[in-house]
Amino acid sequence: MSVKWIEHKGKRILNVDFRGLEEEQMIEQLDVLAKEIAKSSGGLLVLNNFEGSRATAKFMTRAKQTGRDRVGTKVAKSAAVGITGVKEVLLVAYNKFTGRNLVSFKTEAQALDWLAKD
C-alpha cells in the first residue's frame, strides 16, 4: 500500500497506489488518502492507480463518500489508471455522485503528464 508525494515536471502529485489490493486494503488506502488531503491547503493533483484491483460495492460506497465529503475543493485535478471494463461504468457513477471529474488514462505516464499540465 502506498500514498506518497512524487514530483513530475516540477509539479507535486499525490500518488495513490491501489494496484493488487484487496477490498479492506483499498478502503484503508482511501482513509490514508483522506488524511493526507485533510492536511493539505488545497490545489492538489492526485494520481490513482487501480491496475489489477477490483472495485467492490463496499469500496465504491466508501470512495463516493470520501470523494464527496472529504475531497471537497482541495483537489484541483485527479487522474486514474487501470479503469477498464466494469470500472469504467463505476467511474461515471463516482463522478456523477461526487461532482468530481476523475479522468481515466491508459498509462501512468499519460496521467502524470496531464496532471502536470497547467
CATH number reported for the structural domain that contains residue 93 in this entry: 3.30.750.24
Total number of domains constituting the chain: 1
CA distance 114 to 105: 9
The pTM (predicted TM-score) of the whole model is 0.89
Domain that holds residue 14: 2-116
The grid cell for 55 is: 472495485
51 close to 81: Cβ distance less than 8 angstroms: yes
CA distance 21 to 4: 16
Taking only the tens place, the pLDDT of each residue in 18-75 is 999 999 999 999 999 989 998 988 899 999 999 999 888 899 889 888 887 766 678 8
